[in-house]
Structures are given as structure tokens and as C-alpha cells.
Structure 1
């Protein structure tokens, strides 16, 4: 998973955001302008740097990198249902100064969709809030060469949902999801979304560029050909509450945009990936039989046949990673940074097959590089996962890793750790 900060491989430093974020969420499908540009920048760069290939995204990056790392924070904190009153025409896609670059008209990355089709909206839930999502569409004949105004939108939302269901395993972590029927449109349009919280006056605003019955960023023939079926998934690490799955890629005449992993017994999506061919399915019951299959989707919404199923039996309750101890120590500290050493001990009666340790950097630090673990950070939240050589930890055994971090103050030891979602004790 690529989060709001790039993954840190063992001993490898990457560029991470230094500005604070007001993160909360945004559509990953259909992708908001901010998320589409973030993905474009990450995919075109290397070592965690941003190198957008889309000219509009590059133009936005030249003005301000903050919205790329904070693509999920396009909000007004005191909106209070005053959207049209406080957001002027031309500022709908970026109502705050930090996001103003995304108001510019132009050939932004677009999601291909089919007129009148039913699609699954996927909205990242970086922070979870109760509230209502309202989706509007631009009118027929609107002028895409001008900044978006309120009169460019149809007067009523074509889709509205309150407190939609939430699931883990989205392309950027936990996500809200729901089915929506798209309006009958053709050509390029903008889906304008307002997420209004019911527990505060805060609201979030996003523009998702879409092309109906066509190909994003340049037009072309309608895409009606579905991807081929993915290969049969295989199970990697299996614990008492999670399983890692991988599969052979599907093929498509235009390109596969994402995969969805299904629980065969319920027909529910339990994980999604943004083109990657592996996923971790969590929140499983111990010592339980499961079957999973995968489908591939292209940007136009065409879905493949199901892959063959894989049968998996989860491990014992002792292998749900709830019995663990973390020894976290500051090995070295200097003005503006520190080195931390972490030892994770398996206190259970069964071996761990794969591990993922999560904590929060209460000192406001930013991880700059790490070793003996795959480390990723989203704001203060840090997750360290095993490499391909240290994923198996026997009962009574331990594994160690470390990292360097920058901070404006003194280093602090985290108060809590979770291993594969279960709490650990500290020493």
C-alpha cells in the first residue's frame, strides 16, 4: 500500500512531508484531482520523490507540494452547511489557499466511467467521521476551459449517502464504500463531492474528473473490453487473524486499474489494490476456513471473470499477535533528530508468520530512513513490517530493527504498540 508518505525500504531514505496535515479523506475512485496527482507524482518519481507526468499536476506541484502529501485534507473546518455562501465560483475544487492550484481548468487526470452504470465509490477514511456524502455532476454544455462554478453543477446531487459502510484493505487503507448509479452523460465532466460531518461544522470538498464512455486524458474509443481473469491467488503468511494473498496479473487492452479480493462465502470485498498483485486480508477469526477469489477492473469499470479460489485456514488464537513485547529505546539523539532501536518479542506459544507493528510518534518526528524492516509513515502514524528474510519469528523469539527520525523537540518513547492489530506490552 502507498500511504500519505512513501514506503521506506531497509536503509533507504525518502522525501517525506514536513508540513502538518489536517488529514481526513478523499475519493480514490473516482480519483480526486489531489489523489490522482499524488499517484501521478509517486508513480513518476523515485525514492519517494514526486515527478508528475501530467502537466496540470506538475503545474500544481510547482505552486505547492502540500496538497500532494495531504491529498485527503481538502476541507473547511467551520463550513457549517454554508458551502455556497463561503466558497466563491472558481474556488470549488480548492476552497483554501493551500489547494488553490487545483481550481485551474485543464486536462487533469480523469477516471473513465460508463454512462448510467452502477459503480462502487471508494472514499479513503484516513480519519473516520459520521456524516453525509453528496455527489454532484456538471451540467451538459458546461465549459471545462473555465474554473468550476456553482451554476456549472446540476442543482441536485445524483448520489447521496449518510454513514456508509467502512472496510479495511482499500488502496490507501480503510475506506468508505457504496454503490452509486452514474447519471447519463457523455464526454468530460466533473463529479463534485461534499462530505459534511454531522459531529462538527467541518466539511470536505473534492473534484473528480471523469470521462463518460471514453478514455481519460485524450478521448478515444469506448472501452468495453473486460480484463482477463487474474491467476489463482496463493496464500503467503497466515496468522490467526490475517492472511497475505498474491496472484498473477490480469491483462487488459487499456490497462488494469485495480483488483478486488472477495470472501467467497459472503461475496463481500475484503481488500482492494491499486494495480498491485498482493493484498493482506485482516480481521479474520482464528482457526477458521476461508476461501478467497480476485477480480480485475479497468478504469472504465469493466470487470473480469473471477480467479480460481484459494482455501485458507487461519492459525490458532495464540498466533493473532496479541502476545508480544516491544523494547523501544533511543540509541542516539542530537539536535533535530534521533536514532531508535526496536526489539519485538513473540511471547505467544506459536510462531509468527509475518508481522506488522504500528505505533504513533508522539514527539512529532518524521522517519527519514530505516533498516531491517519496511517502514511507512502517515503523519504521526508509523507501521513497520517484516522484510522477506525476517518474517518468521518463533515462539519465544524476537526480531530487531531501527530507524532515524527528525524532530523539532526531544525524542519520546511511544506509549502503545499494536502487532497485527493486537496490543503489545512494553519493556
Structure 2
């Protein structure tokens, strides 16, 4: 799919994982995070507001009772995307957005799959071609990174889930580390001024990626807009907090702080290559969706009878993990011949990898990576755990 290559070429290769040396915690309580657009509002934020408004109208303040048809369908599919509207993310994506399948851009994580569903009922923000507006992005947790926004092409099929070829070839806005301020509708927020495309009319979707530079994690937002002018969201959700203060003048975009690399980054897919089918974006059905970790075993190269594997372990909690042991099972008789950046052993089909002395800490919503040489023909691994707790397999 050629649009994948355009996206990859635009985003480029980002920094390696930063180690956060903090308190000693073995496996902390899960807390998914950490951000999303509130202006113009992403589908998850506006449906969250719709659900709160419906609950309040029904005399059940604090409960979710969406009334918008598209939001009701999303809630019925999986309420996770409402209570965690800011958690539409992939933890181990590491800039390889082109591996997200067509039709899954708005909700690449299966917990947000309903937000991919095409519908004329999605609450829509009215905008004017060429207008400058302030983008506001809730910083539920704060991280450095790029915010990049595309828009759908003229004539895109509104009756199909959005695919890469539905987007314009290049983003119309990209900003690195915009300023942060307090007092947004959802608390602290990033903000920056954006000039919308001047040659659009009618309904479109803005597709935004927040790509962290201190972690392989990225966040995904789909925003429904109508270039009919006038501003505002239709229908208008009932706000639960006061409006964001009037923005100050256009910010100076700052440079990314240089993270302290702790591991060798996972080899990236080159712009001209076809994405490898080995990684899957579908969680293992036997693993709870709200898991403490994600694990990806990526085959970077292979030959007759052998392959090179790269493992990324993502800590999906708000606390650091100090001292890690990762286990998984091979499904096709594979065996590890040698490994680096971990102490790795194998018994039958079960592989156990422990941290090296220098990479024992996995910061919150950060990751470690290590590699190995294996024999056999690789398939999707199973039964992954981090310190005994189940992991989603990517």
C-alpha cells in the first residue's frame, strides 16, 4: 500500500528508548494513558463528553449513557474507549505506522476498533477553509514528541473505514514539542496554532499521530470536520469543565530533549520496503485487553533454517519496572542460538529472557529491546509474560 511508505517517509526514524531510573517496583498497578485532541475533538473525546451528558440527563451523573448514534454503537462494542478516551495507542509501534492495516487507523488497538466504523453520525466540528485554529491536546501524561496531522483526500469514500490511500500524500501540519499549559478542558494540555487546508469543502477527517521521541509508543486521533464554516461541534456535547482560556500568541516550537538511550533500537522498516507480516496488531485473545505490558517479536531478517529476532517489551503502566523477566513460547519448534542485551535461556518451547545489568529498568510507558539469533521458521509467539503477568502480543 503506497500511502504507508509516504507516511513512513514523512515521520522518519525517531530516538531510542530512554531509561527512567526511579522507585523500585516489580509489577505496578495498570493505568493506561495519556492524551488526545480536545480541540478539534477526537472521536473518543467527543463521545466521552456525549456519554457524560447522557448520564447527567438521565440523573446518573458520572455514568456513561451516550445518545449520539455513532457513540452509542462504540460504547456497546467496548466501553473502554470512553473511560480511557486518551489511551488510543500502540505501545511498541516504534514509528512503523505503515504496519497498521487499512481501515484501522482511527482505532489500531482492538479496544478502540469501533471508532473505525464509518458513520454520518460522528459529532463533527465545523471549520472554515484556510482558517487558523488552536489545536489543544490533553496531556494526561507528559511526553516529548511529534504531533503530525493529515486530512482525507477530496472524494474519499465516507462509507468505508479510513485507509492510508484515503489520506493526502503529505501531512498539512507537524510540530515538535509544542508548549504546555494548565487549565485545559481535561487538565494540562499541549497547544499550537494550525492553518487548515484552504482547498477543502464538505466533510473530512483529520488523522493525527502523537509520536513520542522517548518511547516506541504512539497515539492516534481521528477528528470529523465539516468545511462549511461556523465553528463548533455538531451536535454540541455538554461540557463538564470550563472552557479553555483564550490562547496566547503563536508558540515558538522547541527542540526535543535528547533522551538517554538504554538499548539498541528495533531496526526500522525502510520507506521503500513492504512491511513484514510477522508482527500483528491484534492482541492475543487469551490475554486481558488491559494488560500490564506488550511484547513484540519482530523478525528483522531470515535465511534458510534461521532468522534474527528482535524483541520489544513495553511497560503499559504508570510506574517503572525494576528488574524484568520476560517469557514466551515458540509455536513452530524455533530455538535460540545466541542473544544480546538480555540473559536468555530456553526449555522446550519456552524462552526466558532476563535483563542485563545495564538495562534493568523499564520506565513507565517505555520499553526495552533485545535481540537473538534463532533456528527454524518463525511464527507468532504465544503465552508472553512480564514478571509473571500476561502481556498483549503485537
TM-score normalised by the chain length of structure 1: 0.47
- 2:143 aligns to what? 129
1:13 alignment partner in structure 2: none
The answer to whether the aligner puts 1:143 opposite 2:185 as a matched pair is no
CA shift, 1:20, in A, is: 4.8
1:100 aligns with 2:113: yes
Q: 1:331-346 to 2 correspondence within 5 Å? A: none
Q: Is the 8 A contact 1:134 1:157 kept in 2?
A: yes
1:32 aligns with 2:47: no
Q: When the two structures are aligned, how many residues end up with a matched partner?
A: 216
Deviation per CA, 1:221-261: give whole Å up to 9, x if none: xxxxxxxxxxxxxxxxxxxxxxxxxxxxxxxxx99987453
Measure, in 2, the Cα distance between the counterparts of 1:157 and 1:165.
20
Indicate the structure whose relative CO is greater, using CA pairs within 8 Å and at least 6 residues apart: 2
Aligned residue in 1 for 2:207: 192
Greater radius of gyration (CA): 1
- Equivalent-residue separation in structure 1 for 2:81 and 2:238 (angstroms): 26
Alignment correspondent of 2:222: 207
1:108, 1:217 within 8 Å by CA — same for their partners in 2? no
- Runs of 4+ in structure 1 off by over 2 angstroms are 214-220, 254-263
Change (3 A) 1:76 1:38: same
Question: Residues 59, 126 of structure 1: CA spacing in aligned structure 2 closer, same or farther, 3 A cutoff?
Answer: same
- The CA deviation at 1:49 is 1.0
Q: CA deviation at 1:215?
A: 7.0
The equivalences for 1:11-410 within 5 A come to 20-46=30-56, 47-85=61-99, 87-106=100-119, 107-184=121-198, 185-214=200-229, 259-261=243-245
CA–CA distance in structure 2, aligned partners of residues 114 and 96 of structure 1: 32
Q: Point out the more displaced range, 27-36 or 46-55.
A: 46-55
- Matched-pair contact (CA < 8 Å) for 1:109–1:217: no
SS in 1 for 2:52: helix
Q: CA deviation at 1:199?
A: 0.6
Change (3 A) 1:100 1:261: closer
CA distance in 1 between counterparts of 2:172 and 2:152 reads 10
- Give the unaligned 5+ runs of structure 1: 1-18, 221-253, 270-360, 363-427
C-alpha distance in 1, partners of 2:31/2:231? 30
- Asked if the contact 1:187/1:214 (under 8 Å) is kept, the reply is no
Give the number of the structure whose residues are more often strand, by fraction: 1
CA distance in 1, matches of 2:203, 2:153: 11
- Separation in structure 2 between the aligned mates of residue 27 and residue 218 of structure 1, nearest angstrom: 13
Secondary structure of the corresponding residue to residue 35 of structure 2: coil
Contact residue 46 and residue 237 of structure 2 kept, 8 A: no
Say which SS state the counterpart of residue 261 (structure 1) adopts.
Answer: coil
Aligned-pair CA distance for 1:53? 1.4
| TM-score for both structures, normalised by structure 2 | 0.51
